[in-house]
Amino acid sequence: MLLRLHHFRHLAGSASPHGAAAQAKLTLVAASFCIFLVQLDFFALNLALPKMASELRTSPTNLQWVISAYMLSLAAFLIPGGRLGDILGRRRILMVGLVIFGLSSLGAALAPNAGTVIAFRTVQGVGSAIIFPLAIAIVTNAFPAERVKRAIGYAYGIGAVSMALGPPFGGGITELVVWRVVLLVNVPLSIIAIAIVAAGVRESRDPTVPRSIDLPGLALVAAGIALVTLAVDLASSWQPLATAGIAVVGLLVLVAFVQRERLAKYPLVNLELFRNRPYVMVTLMGTVANLALVIGVFGSTVYLQQAEGRSPLAAGLILLAASVATGIAGPISGRIGEHLNIPVVMGITAVTGGIGLFVVALGGGFETYLPGLALFGFSYGVGYAMSNIGTQSVVARELVGEASGVTLAIVIGVSGLAVAAAATLIDIQSRSMGLTEAIEDIMRWTAAGSIVASGLLLLVARRRP
């Protein structure tokens, strides 16, 4: 296989159109496999949480930090991860990210307690923060401008096969073997990804970007996100003064981050992006879609296993309805993004996604539960994919990489905070109304909020070209 990849790389090195096309295809394969690896881990590990919590002697809602810590570190390091690739070489730094991802997966798999698992998952998020933006950057660099949207759509679509495989894989491995294998499998997959990137991706840099990273800004945004999330988590223990104090400090740190970015010579985030109204619209809609998607997946996972008592494998097979639909959304988003108004499409699909999630929250039989999962998976999948594709349309080409990183940071960071908040609310409400009703209630409120927010954003989007 590697000899064949090296052969294609040699062909791609020629100046012929055939060589350029071969290089682009290999780059697309490499990017798709990187996205596949990261998303397989996320969707598979969700199904392992209840069993993991049982073995590590904690609750699934407490162990949501396995998801939240990962997503928050991913969000905090997305922008510097992409910047490092621009400065030092995207191919080289992408492989560094894969090494970090694989080694931290190994550490989490061998961890003796919940705290160690969460610590390694935090490091794993840093690896993903390098992989995600650079996977998109190498595709953008390999394809001509008129084909970039479709290529990114295909990368997400091929990578999204992991969304279909993730739930039954994670559930099956957890039930038949042990949850640790779900993390261990990332090690050989990371090695394969490194080999494909080494053989199929041509090195590229961006000589126009600043040659330094705003480390004080990075420290401020990471601390602010961590403090706000910690405040949300403490809310379940009803410590109002401590919770409010930590939340206020976290918000003040985030305000300090914004001020730092306004004054920094080479800011981590280009605040001028937020003067671009279509860009803000795409980012907000993508945030709403991904927030509802991750809460829906997390809530359904706990509901199926803890409330209904289904096995991890059975829960994974049921969640196929959502994960397959999400995977299909990627390539479709790339095609319709070339012809339709992206913010309007995102608004419509987020509203339909909210309807699907509301149907899931009704807790009926398979005749309603499975169609609801499919509808919310596809609709929110379109919204998430288009939040990345949409930046190609609404910002200048030289700002695409930076804009995509900022969008992903916001979309994923808010979603990580939302999972922590949802877990806390489920924990609080389950004490008075039971776990089943608590999960259904949170998903109903998430669906209603998604519909209202998306409807308002859609009205604004329809008034602007």
Q: How does pLDDT run across 300-320, given as a tens digit for each residue? A: 877 887 777 888 788 778 877
Task: Kindly state the tokens that stand for 431.
Answer: 């004490």
Q: Which of 172, 177, 169, 90 is nearest to 135 (CA)?
A: 90
Mean pLDDT of 417-434: 80
pTM for this model (two decimals):
0.75
Domain segments of the chain: what residues? 2-201+268-463, 214-267
- DSSP assignment of 231-280: HHHHGGGT-HHHHHHHHHHHHHHHHHHHHHHHH-SS-SS-GGGGG-HHHH
- Which of 111-125, 315-329, 405-419 tops mean pLDDT? 111-125
pLDDT for 123 equals: 93
| Highest mean pLDDT pick, 97-106, 203-212, 285-294, 412-421 | 97-106
Rounded Cα distance, 73 and 129, in Å: 8
CB atoms within 10 A of CB 245: 14
Mean pLDDT of the chain: 79
DSSP label of 304: I
Which of these CATH numbers, 1.20.1250.20, 3.40.50.620, 1.10.3470.10, 3.40.50.880, describes 2-201+268-463?
1.20.1250.20
Alpha helices (H) in 264-365, listed in sequence order: 277-302, 312-318, 320-336, 342-361
Query: Radius of gyration over alpha carbons of the chain, in Å?
Result: 21
Q: Are 173 and 311 in contact (CB under 8 A)?
A: no
